[in-house]
Amino acid sequence: MAVDDPGRSYSHPLFDTLERFPGLDLATTTADKLLNWGARNSLWIFPMATSCCGIEFMASAASRVDFDRMGSFTRATPRQADVMVVAGTITVKMAPRVKRLWDQMPEPKWCVAMGSCAISGDFYRDIYSVIPGIDTVIPVDVYVPGCPPNPEALMAGLLVLQEKIALKTAGLKTVPAGRPETAKMISPRIKRVGHPDRMPEIDAAQCAQAMSLDLTEPPDLLAAFTAAQAAAKAAREAAEAAAADAAAADEKGGEA
Amino acid sequence: MTADERQARLAAFMTERFGVEADPWPDGGPIVPVEQHVALAAALQAELGYTLYVYCVASHWPDETPKGGDLIPEHYEVATGLRSVGAGSHVAMWRVSVPVGAGVPTLADLFAGADWQEREQYDLVGVVFDDHPDLRRLMLPEEWVGHPLRKDYAIETGHLPWR
């Protein structure tokens, strides 16, 4: 799993060492700067294009916007790519394949969710076969909203990603990619990767199904998930009731 | 032959050979008894030159009582379209209606193109095609439970661990 804390989306051996031994950064900072300068200026893209966003992606690679000039070009294999651009609606049948391809990409790696389907499922999100946002399956670094986003928007997204990598080099903790406003209104049943409330059983089941491609719904997972949902609902209601009580008490206190 | 003449020839053929009520021509084509489904397709293919299999669309109809009418029990309706090829191309279409649980005879023996079309309708709607050579799911994962285009399937049905 690439995510070990919500603030970062990739592991980097050099950084891990630096964080463990303060002072060592003086010796390695130059080499690391160089490595990251190289990494952010040669973001090779694996296009996970499943629908119309893929067309805009192709336009971004063509002469008008042309992300080749900043070192990004497409590789049709996950093994030689740094960035996965998820461009399009991902279905239940496709999601394990996407996860499997993501897991095959070498570290460090980043993910760009391109377009509203990849961000939240958009108006297909309630349909039985559609994933309500690819961040419930793999960690996302940059969200590029639009339906579909135009090539300039994707270019801006890639520049934001470069900036993010540069911040990391400067030793600054990067801000986790916030979901866009529209996506915040939608709370998928399954929490996004890295969310504190995400059940570890979901991660395990997704990994297992990505390996086996057997999409049978695990019955014990369903029971655990239902119980967790009920507990979360009860906790939310208790908190709301407590808040209402406190408000009522305040009002009374005010009157007295 | 104009389009109207081709249409009239088709309607007359269906009425004379299969006793189907085709005047006036209903939307979506006339309803044909399910026993004559294969015979009609074979006759259209062999005698009138409708050699191209165009579509197969199934729909699910739950129990329904129209205003002032009797109960129409739950059933499937399967619409089929064949096209003649070449100049003056024309589409022949008809429907068969079967109760839930009964099968529709397959046209895959007559038209190779019917194979996947019928698999798709089986996958999404749940109609069983009798004697189909390979009736498996086509679009959804093979482990999927249920047929999503049935009226009793909730659209927001989840599928752990993915949604």
For A30-79, write each residue's pLDDT tens digit: 677 777 888 888 999 999 999 899 999 999 999 888 999 888 989 889 99
Our CA-based measurement puts residue A50 at a distance from the nearest CA of chain B, in whole angstroms, of 15
Tens-place pLDDT, residues A91-143 = 999 999 999 999 999 878 899 999 999 998 888 888 999 998 898 999 998 99
Tens-place pLDDT, residues A140-193 = 989 999 989 999 999 999 999 998 888 876 666 666 666 666 555 667 788 888
- How many other β-carbons are positioned within 10 Å of the β-carbon of residue A196? 6
Is A217 near chain B, with CB under 8 Å?
yes
Query: Which of A128, A205, A214 faces B161 most closely, judged by CB atoms?
Result: A205
A154, A209, B121, B138 from A99: Cα distances, Å? 22, 9, 29, 22
Q: Decide: A9 and A141 in contact? Cβ < 8 Å.
A: yes
- How many other β-carbons are positioned within 10 Å of the β-carbon of residue B96? 21
pLDDT (0 to 100) of residue A4: 46
Query: Which of A93, A136, A190 faces B141 most closely, judged by CB atoms?
Result: A93
- How many other β-carbons are positioned within 10 Å of the β-carbon of residue A75? 14
Domain boundaries defined on chain B: 3-130
Distance of alpha carbon A113 from alpha carbon A154, whole angstroms: 10
Is B152 near chain A, with CB under 8 Å?
no
> Per-residue pLDDT for A199 more than 60?
yes
The B residues from 110 to 139 touching A (CB cutoff 8 Å) are 139
Tens-place pLDDT, residues A201-229 = 888 899 989 988 888 888 888 888 888 88
Structure tokens at B81: 């379209």
Structure tokens at B36: 């004559």
CA atoms within 13 A on the CB side of B56: 29
Cis upstream peptide for A180 (omega within 30°): no
Distance of alpha carbon B18 from alpha carbon B21, whole angstroms: 9
Distance of alpha carbon B163 from alpha carbon B160, whole angstroms: 6
Strand, helix or coil for residue B14: helix
pLDDT (0 to 100) of residue A254: 65
Query: Which of B139, B143, B160 faces A221 most closely, judged by CB atoms?
Result: B160
Q: Do B161 and A93 touch (CB under 8 A)?
A: no
Q: Do B141 and A92 touch (CB under 8 A)?
A: yes
Q: What is the ipTM of this complex?
A: 0.80
Distance of alpha carbon A187 from alpha carbon A14, whole angstroms: 36
Q: Which residues pair with B55 in a beta bridge?
A: B81
Our CA-based measurement puts residue B7 at a distance from the nearest CA of chain A, in whole angstroms, of 39
Q: Decide: A38 and A169 in contact? Cβ < 8 Å.
A: no
Domain B3-130 sits in CATH 3.30.460.80: yes
B69: left (phi over 0), alpha (psi -120 to 50) or beta: beta
Tens-place pLDDT, residues A13-32 = 666 666 666 665 555 566 77
Distance of alpha carbon B156 from alpha carbon A189, whole angstroms: 11
Interface test with B, best of A93, A97, A128, A130 (most B CBs within 10 A): A128
pLDDT (0 to 100) of residue A252: 77
* Regions of chain B with pLDDT less than 50: none
pTM of the prediction?
A: 0.81
Distance of alpha carbon B12 from alpha carbon A48, whole angstroms: 53
Query: Which of B144, B158, B162 faces A95 most closely, judged by CB atoms?
Result: B162
Strand, helix or coil for residue B27: coil
pLDDT (0 to 100) of residue A236: 85
pLDDT (0 to 100) of residue A39: 85
pLDDT (0 to 100) of residue B160: 84
Q: Chain B partners of A221 at a C-beta cutoff of 8 Å? A: 160-161
What residue has token string 């009860």?
A: A234
Q: Quickly list DSSP for chain A.
A: ---SSTT-S---HHHHHHHHSTTTHHHHHHHHHHHHHHHHT---EEEEE-STHHHHHHHHHSTTT-GGGGT--B-SSGGG-SEEEEES--BTTTHHHHHHHHHHSPSS-EEEEESHHHHH-GGGTTSTTB-S-GGGTS--SEEE-SSSPPHHHHHHHHHHHHHHHHHHHTTPPPPPPPPPHHHHT---SSPPTT-TT--HHHHHHHHHHHHH---PPPHHHHHHHHHHHHHHHHHHHHHHHHHHHHHHHHHHHHH-
Long-range contacts of B117-120 (CB under 8 A, 24+ apart): B117/B53, B117/B55, B117/B56, B118/B56, B120/B56
Spatial neighbors of B38 by CB under 8 A, at least 6 apart, are B105, B107, B110
pLDDT (0 to 100) of residue A6: 45
Is A220 near chain B, with CB under 8 Å?
no
